[in-house]
A and B are shown apart, each in its own frame.
Chain A
């Protein structure tokens, strides 16, 4: 017995070592693949299929088997990495889309609702809210297609109408790492807020029926072509291969200039509110406007940082530029008001922040924090003077300053983008060999300012002329302005049959 014991011990040791080796060889590749695609059910499901190659190969032709195995592993890894990136990018873009919707309702609705008189607060909020519904429907029917299907240089085709061919597959021309459907959702929120911005110009006097017709036509004939020209495949102002490459990261021309200029045309066409400017029309609740403006600020991170269409460092850079731009403009407006009026107002501070957010929008993905500071400060001061001085010199009633803040802020931002855009932040222009080319003036491309100027001119002209035509059509059919008695009574009661503040009940 005593002679046989060492053999038994050796046999046991060999068995144990063998088991350990087997366990090790199985656990290592598993741990590796999980580290590269953490916590994604879809990725794990796919990767589990070809993980263990058929063992007979190992015995018959070990060398060929190893190569095939390695090859297969690399392919699987590649797919897993792609899916992990899609999961990351997609989650940020979807969250951003939700943030941008938050800008319209309740953000803009509260911001504008607080600025009107108490008899018009619900009508003003309704004008924003109904666009969340109307534009969503027109978008899925044909709006997305007119913006983003390959058409001509001016407008997209109908290939994506009813969201045909818009599904889980990415559209590499727009966003190679997210489903095209996510891109369509994200862009929808932009198409909603843009017309909602205009409502500030004709607040307290536009007929609701007229608003509905006006906004549908406006989306088709102004927003869709402008978005296609600047962002769409084949658009002639596109930074990726357009005839006049324009830099507009998140919508300086597409969103703020179009809405701001249309706002001015609306204010001029509809005329002043009864009693303006002799009757006092102070905001009925600066508190509501404050909450709205703060929600706009938060939502704007989705607007700008989300426009990176990925969750990488470009989103971070745009986030930073957005924050700095808003802060600098809030200080610019407050400072200017403090000097001229002796007292810095809360409404001034939040209006300044919004002006800064508008101005940094086209630049946010192309500039660093110091350029953002310069752009924000400029916008805060310029918009303050537009709203508090220039408006009164000309005497038009841009009731809630949609033109003064969005038209002017957007123009300042679009032009300064041509000055401060830098290829260090975002290599948007590349030569044939794929090397980055300079973007803006400070980067050594002075010509870009001219391109920006042309794009701004086109946005001004398109919005100005077409808005006037649409207003004429709507006026001739449904009539744009409410009756005198209704305006005096207030739109809440006259147009919608309800009142905002029924404290006594």
Chain B
């Protein structure tokens, strides 16, 4: 069982979500986040006061998958989240020990 975390451009959320649903991913958690990678931020000017905004709004997707569908999901994200410009984000994959459905206490891949 794996956790796939993808940090993507806010404008790509819909495309990524639809592509994931097509590959059969049932659930996902989406959050609006702020952060920066190597890209850093932009400047805003209010009446001549210049502010550097280095924490940029992004979308974080979290999905939990059985090992055998992880690569498919990653491909779907790569295909739809990529604009080719700096700031497209990153994908992190990690091992998950257990998943439990609260309603009926199912465990493992059944709970996903």
A-side contacts of B47, CB under 8 Å: 347-348, 351, 387-388, 401
Contact A280 B51 (CB under 8 A): yes
Contact A341 B49 (CB under 8 A): no
Which of A281, A282, A286, A392 contacts B48, CB < 8 Å?
Answer: A392
Quick check: is A389 within 8 A (CB to CB) of the other chain? yes
Contact B48 A389 (CB under 8 A): yes
Which of B45, B51, B52 contacts A341, CB < 8 Å?
Answer: B45
Distance of B57 from chain A, by nearest CB (Å):
15
Contact A347 B46 (CB under 8 A): yes
Q: Whose C-beta in chain B lies nearest to the C-beta of A343?
A: B45
Quick check: is A345 within 8 A (CB to CB) of the other chain? yes
Contact B45 A345 (CB under 8 A): yes
Quick check: is B18 within 8 A (CB to CB) of the other chain? no
Quick check: is B26 within 8 A (CB to CB) of the other chain? no
Most buried by B among A277, A282, A347: A282
Contact A277 B49 (CB under 8 A): yes
B-side contacts of A389, CB under 8 Å: 48
Contact with B along A343-369 (1 / 0, CB 8 A): 101011001000000000000000000
Which of A282, A384, A391, A392 contacts B46, CB < 8 Å?
Answer: A282
Quick check: is A157 within 8 A (CB to CB) of the other chain? no
- Interface of A, helix, strand, loop or mixed by DSSP: helix
Quick check: is A283 within 8 A (CB to CB) of the other chain? yes
Q: Whose C-beta in chain A lies nearest to the C-beta of B48?
A: A388
What's the A-B contact tally at a CB cutoff of 8 Å?
Answer: 30
Distance of B54 from chain A, by nearest CB (Å):
10
A-side contacts of B45, CB under 8 Å: 341, 343, 345
B-side contacts of A282, CB under 8 Å: 44, 46, 49, 51
Distance of A309 from chain B, by nearest CB (Å):
35
Contact with A along B45-66 (1 / 0, CB 8 A): 1111101110000000000000
* B-contacting residues, A386-417, CB 8 Å: 387-389, 391-392, 401
Which of B48, B51, B52, B53 contacts A387, CB < 8 Å?
Answer: B48
**A392 vs B46: C-alpha distance in the bound complex, in angstroms?**
13
* A-contacting residues, B45-97, CB 8 Å: 45-49, 51-53
* B-contacting residues, A286-313, CB 8 Å: 286
**A498 vs B50: C-alpha distance in the bound complex, in angstroms?**
30
**A388 vs B47: C-alpha distance in the bound complex, in angstroms?**
6
**A402 vs B46: C-alpha distance in the bound complex, in angstroms?**
15
Contact with A along B18-59 (1 / 0, CB 8 A): 000000000000000000000000001111110111000000
A-side contacts of B48, CB under 8 Å: 341, 384, 387-389, 391-392
B-side contacts of A281, CB under 8 Å: 49
Distance of B109 from chain A, by nearest CB (Å):
35
Contact A345 B46 (CB under 8 A): yes
**A391 vs B51: C-alpha distance in the bound complex, in angstroms?**
16
* B-contacting residues, A247-289, CB 8 Å: 277, 280-283, 286
Q: Whose C-beta in chain B lies nearest to the C-beta of A401?
A: B47
**A282 vs B46: C-alpha distance in the bound complex, in angstroms?**
7
Q: Whose C-beta in chain A lies nearest to the C-beta of B53?
A: A280
Distance of B44 from chain A, by nearest CB (Å):
6
**A277 vs B45: C-alpha distance in the bound complex, in angstroms?**
14
**A388 vs B44: C-alpha distance in the bound complex, in angstroms?**
13
Most buried by B among A280, A348, A387, A392: A280
Q: Whose C-beta in chain B lies nearest to the C-beta of A404?
A: B47
Q: Whose C-beta in chain A lies nearest to the C-beta of B50?
A: A341
B-side contacts of A283, CB under 8 Å: 46
**A392 vs B47: C-alpha distance in the bound complex, in angstroms?**
11
**A283 vs B52: C-alpha distance in the bound complex, in angstroms?**
14
**A348 vs B51: C-alpha distance in the bound complex, in angstroms?**
15
* B-contacting residues, A326-355, CB 8 Å: 341, 343, 345, 347-348, 351
**A388 vs B50: C-alpha distance in the bound complex, in angstroms?**
10
A-side contacts of B51, CB under 8 Å: 280, 282
Pull 5 A–B residue pairs with CB atoms less than 8 Å apart, ordered by A: A281-B49, A282-B44, A282-B46, A384-B48, A387-B47
- Closest 9 A-B residue pairs measured CB to CB? A388-B48, A280-B51, A387-B47, A282-B46, A282-B51, A341-B45, A283-B46, A388-B47, A347-B46
B contacts, CB < 8 Å to A: 44-49, 51-53
Q: A347-B47, A384-B48, A388-B47 are in contact. List 10 more A-B contacts (CB 8 A).
A: A277-B49, A281-B49, A282-B46, A282-B49, A341-B48, A343-B45, A347-B46, A351-B47, A387-B47, A392-B48
